Each structure stands twice: as structure tokens, then as C-alpha cells.
Chain A
Amino acid sequence: MLAEYYPVLLFMLVGTAIGVVPMALGRTVSLLLGTHRPDAEKNSPYECGFEAFEDARMKFDVRYYLVAILFILFDLEIAFLFPWAVVLNEIGLFGFLSMMVFLGILVVGFFYEWRKGALDWD
């Protein structure tokens, strides 16, 4: 059972190597063959020619945070739906209706946040 996932693990390692090796190669090859003249302006954060006048890690719109929170709620809901969907043909009408009750509660919450304007972006 768990042995089936061994190739998956290997694939992740290979995927990581395919990310790491070319970058290491690019680092060395460009140092050896390319021009390498660092200076303060070149290595500063890109800001269309301006000098960076403050730290980039600034305040940001709270709506991004709100979206992230809502995402967690709905993603959990999807996680609950997955096992239910797999066996839907076996659990029949009762199983279907009980999940509809659960979904109904979530839809009420969804409409609440919609009416509250949590999904508006202007």
C-alpha cells in the first residue's frame, strides 16, 4: 500500500533536482563565462529607475487576507466532499441528503459573506 507511493517520492526528489541543478549550473557557468560587475544600483530592488525609498514589506490590503481565510473554509469543505463523492453511488439517497444539509449550511454562510461585501473588490 505505502510502497506504491515510493515512485511518487522519487519523482518529487527528481523534480527538486531538476529545479536545483540548472540553477547551480547557471550560477557557476555565468560566473565563469559571463560578465559579472555588481554595483549598488544594479543589485538594488527594481523600481523603474527610482531608488527604493522604503522597505517593500509594507502594509497590504486586508482583502487578500480575507480571501485566504475564506479559501481555508471552502478548501476544507472540498476535503470533506471528496470521500463523500467517491462512495456516493453506494450510500444512496440518505447519504446524498445529509451532505446537502451540510452544504446548505455552508451556502448560507457563503451568502452572508456575499451580502456583507467580502467578495467585492472595488
Chain B
Amino acid sequence: MVDWILTRPDAWFGPVWGPAVFDTTANLAFIVAIVVPLLLCVAYLTLWERKFIGWIQIRIGPNRVGPLGLLQPIADGIKLLLKEIIVPTQASTQLFFVAPVMVLMPALAAWAVIPFAPEVVLADVNAGLLYLMAMTSLGVYGVIIAGWASNSKYAFLGAMRSAAQMVSYELAMGFSLVVVLMVSGSLNLSDIVNGQGRGSFAAKGLNFLSWNWLPLLPIVVVYFVSGVAETNRAPFDVVEGESEIVAGHMVEYSGMAFAMFFLGEYANMILISTLTAVMFFGGWQAPIDSALFNWLPPFGWLALKVFVVVTLFLWFRATFPRYRYDQIMRLGWKIFIPLTLAWIAVIGIWMQTPWSLWR
């Protein structure tokens, strides 16, 4: 049966096109296997956010649609699908519809290079981290296009703020990634994870002390906080601060067009959390190398770490008041960039000494 299926492309499309068709189909199947659970995660992250923030504020959170409110995201999706998509008369129509796609596409496409478990990665490319940098940078185009195409003052101001904030924190993120690269010596994300499993602590079975977070401690904080700012989440959400510029660049969007921005934001949150887990918290590795911890499969560990980090995003939102815009820019330019620059020198000098951990 399996053989019969595997030989069909050759039988139907001939020896020239057969392998190409087979390759495309296999890759598409893998992509669907990534994207469908990812979109489900995004849907249920919205529910988890409402529940979790509800609990923090001693409320119950959504509990009407389905048991424990579990059908709430589906109800929200159907509602958004049925809502009218309004295109303002002043807007540039084509650009208006390009923008949501430009936000969503990079947030999804970046997953192509994420290693989910040893050897389980869609595209095991050498330049994985570079590709991720490129994809996460693309998101800012969607925001700018949305603000410009809407031709509304709130949208325009929101887009300006958002663009300046995103590029500022992208620098801090980029410098943090350089530090990770220095100690890993590879742009391939699987190599970065494997590199964290080596060291004197890992040899004793205490994997979690060999992960990058400990020797690169300030960088983890910078990376994660920059990630929060990069996704325009609270407390850095002046971009869509409802009390001053309504919803920023999204103000003119309704129905499914708005839903695309929403999906993009949440997909980006999960992406940043996954990257934090992969680059600083050992990816799929178990924290302690013993039968008790190895019981959970590698993918389970990655999922657990991502869940914890993504919950931090929600915790931030429920805890911190919103920053002022000048404070955001000061944090990005005057604290994070000098700190990461200095840390590049510190780690570089450490690597030149005999006590270097990364030979």
C-alpha cells in the first residue's frame, strides 16, 4: 500500500516530473502538519490569554461558549468571518489588502527553519538564523503599509510609532543573536540546540545549567524584552494604545482583514517564545538527563518551554502599566543597545581566555 502510494508520482507524471511532484507533495504535507497545529495554538492562545488574565484579576474569564469556554475561539472566528470588511473611501484599496498578508506571512513562514525535535525540521538550512532575522524584519512592512493605505490619522500615527519601535528593538534583538552566534558558531538552529547540550554540567546530566541562558544571562532578558516590544505587546503597546490612538494601524480594518492582523500578532508571540526556548533554553532537550525527565518526548519539552514563555507575555500584560513612548525609545537605544554591544565584547574576551566554555 505504502509502496503503491510512493510510486504514484512516477507512474502518473513520468520520471522527469515525478520526483518534483513527490517532493512538493511531501513538503506541503509537512507544512500543513506545522501550520494547522500552529493556527490551533494561536486560536487557543487567545482563549488562554483571556482565561489567564481573568484569573490574575480574580475573574472567571470566558466560560459560556462550550465547556470552560473552549469553543470561544471558534465562535470568535465565525463572527469575524461574517462581519463586513469595510474599505474606507480614502484608502488605497490594493495596499489595504496587501498589509494583513504582509503581517501574517512572515509570522508563519519563519517556522520553516524551527527544529521541533532532533532531525525534525522542515528546512534544515545553514542560514536558519539569518532567514529568521529576515522574516521577523518583514513584519514591519505590513504595519507601515497598513498605516499608509488606511489614510486615517490614527492609523498613520500608529504605523509611524510602530515602525520606529520595531526597528529599534530589532537592533537589540540582532545584537543578542550575534552573541548567541558567537558561542554557537553556527547559523543552523539544530546546531545551536545541540551545542547547548555540551559542557561540564551536561556531562553530569544537569543539562539545564549548560544551556545558553546561564552564561548569557543579561542577553536572555534583553532578547525576551525586545521580543515583547517587537510584537507590540503590553507594556510596549503604545502602537495600539486604545486610550490615545484607538487601535493604531488596525483602526480601519474589520472582519477577516482585522483577524489576519490578530493572527499575525499571536503567531509572532508564539514564534518569539519558541526562539527564546530554542536559543537560550535548550530547545527540545530535557532539563535533567534522567529517566524521569526523558519520559516526556523532545517535542513535549519544547512545547512545555514555549508554553511557559508565552504565558510570560500574558503575565506581563496583566502586570505592567504601559510605557510612555519616549521611555520605550530610551530603553531600546540607550540601555539595550549599549548593553548588548558591551556584552559582545565581554563574551568575545571570555572566548579568548583559557576559561572559554565554547571550544
Question: From residue B99, how far is it (CB to closest CB) to chain A in Å?
Answer: 10
Please, how many residues of chain B have a CB less than 8 angstroms from a CB on the other chain?
A: 91
Find A56's partner among B101, B107, B153, B179 (CB 8 Å cutoff): B153
Q: Which 6 A-B pairs have the closest CB atoms?
A: A26-B256, A19-B101, A121-B326, A45-B152, A85-B181, A15-B108
Interface SS majority for chain B: helix
Contacting residue for A87 out of B104, B185, B252, CB 8 A: B185
Is B348 a contact of A11 with CB atoms below 8 Å? no
Q: How far is the CA of A104 from the CA of B266 in the complex (A)?
A: 38
Report chain B residues within 8 Å CB of A121. 325-326, 329-330
Known contacts A7-B27, A45-B153: A78-B174 contact under CB 8 Å: yes
The answer on a CB contact under 8 Å between B246 and A88 is no
Contact assessment for A44 and B88 in the assembled complex, using a CB-CB cutoff below 8 Å:
yes
A27 at interface (Cβ–Cβ under 8 A)? Answer: yes
Q: Give the residues from 180 to 210 in chain B that come closer than 8 angstroms, CB to CB, to chain A.
A: 181-182, 185-187
Known: A18-B35, A57-B151, A119-B334. A42 touches B164 (CB 8 A): no
Which of B60-68, B78-86, B288-296 contacts its partner?
B78-86
- Nearest B residue to A88 via CB reads B182
Q: How far is the CB of B85 from chain A (nearest CB, A)?
A: 6
Report whether B344 and A27 are in contact in the complex, using a CB–CB cutoff of 8 Å. Answer: no
Chain A, interface size category, equals 35 or more
B 144-199 contacts with A by CB, 8 A: 148, 150-157, 160, 163-164, 167-168, 170-171, 174-175, 177-179, 181-182, 185-187
Q: Is the CB of B256 within 8 A of A71?
A: no
**Chain A: CB-nearest residue to B342:** A107
| A30-B83, A43-B86, A85-B182 given; A8·B123 CB < 8 A | yes
| B160: chain A residues within 8 A (beta carbon) | 60-61, 64
Contact indicator B151/A18 (Cβ below 8 Å): no
Within residues 54 to 105 of chain A, which ones have a CB less than 8 A from any CB in chain B? 55-58, 60-61, 63-64, 67-68, 71, 74-75, 78, 81-82, 85-89, 92-93, 96, 99-100, 103
Does B24 touch A at the CB level, under 8 Å? yes
B90 contact set on A, CB distance < 8 A? 44-45, 52, 55-56
Q: Is A116 an interface residue (CB 8 A)?
A: no
- CB-CB under 8 A from A81, the residues of chain B are 175, 178, 344
Interface residues of B (CB under 8 A from A): 23-24, 27-28, 30-32, 35, 39, 80-91, 97, 100-101, 103-109, 111-113, 122-125, 130-131, 148, 150-157, 160, 163-164, 167-168, 170-171, 174-175, 177-179, 181-182, 185-187, 246, 251-252, 255-257, 259-260, 325-326, 329-330, 333-334, 337-338, 341, 344-345, 348-349, 351-352, 358-359
Q: How far is the CA of A59 from the CA of B320 in the complex (A)?
A: 33
**Contact (Cβ within 8 A) A11 B334:** no
CB of A112 within 8 Å of the partner chain: no
B131: chain A residues within 8 A (beta carbon): 8
- With both chains docked as a complex, state the minimum distance between the C-beta of B132 and any C-beta of chain A, in angstroms: 11
**A-B contact list, 15 entries, CB within 8 Å:** A6-B23, A6-B27, A12-B109, A15-B105, A19-B260, A45-B151, A45-B252, A56-B150, A60-B156, A60-B160, A71-B167, A75-B167, A81-B175, A82-B187, A122-B326
CB contacts (< 8 Å) of B345 on chain A: these are: 100, 103
Contact, CB under 8 Å: B101 / A16: yes
Q: How far does the alpha carbon of A103 sit from the alpha carbon of B90 in the complex, in Å?
A: 47
Q: Is the interface of A mostly helix, strand, loop or mixed?
A: helix
Whether A82 contacts B178 in the complex (CB less than 8 A), given A26-B85, A103-B341, A121-B325, comes out as yes
Q: Which of B108, B154, B178 contacts A11 (CB 8 A)?
A: B108
- A86 touching B113, Cβ below 8 Å: no
Chain A positions within 8 Å of B88 at CB level? 43-46
Query: Taking the nearest CB of chain A, how far is it from the CB of B76, in angstroms?
Result: 13
Task: Indicate whether A75 sits within 8 Å of B174 (C-beta atoms), given known contacts A5-B125, A14-B28, A30-B84.
Answer: yes
B168 touches which one: A61, A71, A103, A114 (CB < 8 A)? A71
Contacts of B85 in A (CB 8 A): 23, 26-27, 30
Report whether B246 and A46 are in contact in the complex, using a CB–CB cutoff of 8 Å: yes
- Residues of B contacting A74 in the complex (Cβ-Cβ under 8 angstroms): 171, 174, 337
> Is B125 in contact with A33, judged by CB distance below 8 angstroms?
no
> Is the beta-carbon distance between A114 and B334 smaller than 8 angstroms?
yes
